[in-house]
Amino acid sequence: MFEGKEVKLGIAPIAWTNDDLPDLGKENTFEQCVSEMALAGYTGSEVGNKYPKDPEVLKAALSLRGVEICNAWFSTFLISKPYEETEKEFEKHVSFLSQMGAKVVGVSEQSHSTQGIQDQPVFEGKYVMNEEEWGLLCQGLDRLGKLSLEKYGVALTFHHHMGTVVQSAEEVERLMQGTDPAYVSLLFDSGHFAYCGEDPVEMVKRYAGRIKHVHLKDIRPEVVEKVKAEKMSFLAGVRAGAFTVPGDGCITFAPIFKALEESGYEGYMVVEAEQDPAKANPLAYAIQARKYITEQTGL
């Protein structure tokens, strides 16, 4: 599978140290994190808060381990702040990624997001954009994507996410229809689609030609049901174990890999499963996921 295509495997540091819940993995160092990524057989990493901010220092540490940066999350506020504020911070972010050799940037609109509110039920109170806000979001993303691609050679990929203004299949469709495919692509996240009740297989088939970055994430459906029944927040769900690595939850990944292969996908597929490292040993789960992906794809 993926023969003749440039497809690589990465893993996110959020399994070792959680940026949104700093107590999760506070004992784990940057050096341990990237060493265990390499030990488990991954060549790519996204960026965590413990990573060195100096590109040369970070490159040196990663090159020792045969790992490279493939993406880093960026929060936009296109519907709640002046465009220029977002663009200024975005350009700094993309400049850093370009220096690190990354080819994509993962963007999430965080205006009115509930994902970080500790006492907000994730299945309730999600903000719904009006027509004007949709226009601001789509036009802003096109402008950021054009800047990123033409000035830095980095493609903008949009990350749909629980608790944000773009979560459901309908919202993703509206975003895809409202943005220029030349400048805005999709960051496909299997776990976030499954979490909100959408079929990740249907979603990957629908947007395969527009996907430029992939998060391989599984869910534990019994925990997601508990989150819904007990009106838990997104972060409380993370602590409870809503997410896990591919092959350990309920998502069937074979048709996802098949759809990506048939579309000619190239780039990184990144294991991203935020869990409590005290309960879910990051190295053990990283190895488990790597073995499963090899069995499914041959990579």
Alpha-carbon span 1 to 96, nearest angstrom = 33
Percentage of the chain with pLDDT > 70? 100
pLDDT > 90? residue 15:
yes
Among 272, 264, 263, 262, residue whose Cα is nearest residue 293: 272
Average pLDDT over residues 10-29: 96
pLDDT tens digits, one per residue of 196-218 = 999 999 999 999 999 999 999 99
Residue 230, Cβ neighbours under 10 Å: how many? Answer: 11
Residue 52, pLDDT score: 98
Residue 179, pLDDT score: 98
Residue 241, Cβ neighbours under 10 Å: how many? Answer: 20
pLDDT > 90? residue 3:
no
Residue 272 — very low, low, confident or very high, per pLDDT cuts 50/70/90? very high
CA torsion angle 96 99 102 103 (round to 10): 100
pLDDT tens digits, one per residue of 88-113 = 999 999 999 999 999 999 999 999 99
Kindly report the average pLDDT of the chain as a whole number: 97
Side by side, the strands of the sheet bearing 68-71 are 68-71, 44-46, 7-11, 267-271, 211-216, 184-189, 155-159, 104-109, 73-76
pLDDT tens digits, one per residue of 213-253 = 999 999 999 999 999 999 999 999 999 999 999 999 999 99
DSSP reduced 3-state for 125: coil
First to last CA, the chain: 8
Residue 199, pLDDT score: 98
Q: What backbone phi and psi angles, to 5 degrees, belong to 280?
A: -125, 95
Residue 80, pLDDT score: 98
pTM: 0.97
Residue 160 — very low, low, confident or very high, per pLDDT cuts 50/70/90? very high
DSSP readout, 235-256? HHHHHHT-EE-TTSSS---HHH
Residue 4, pLDDT score: 82
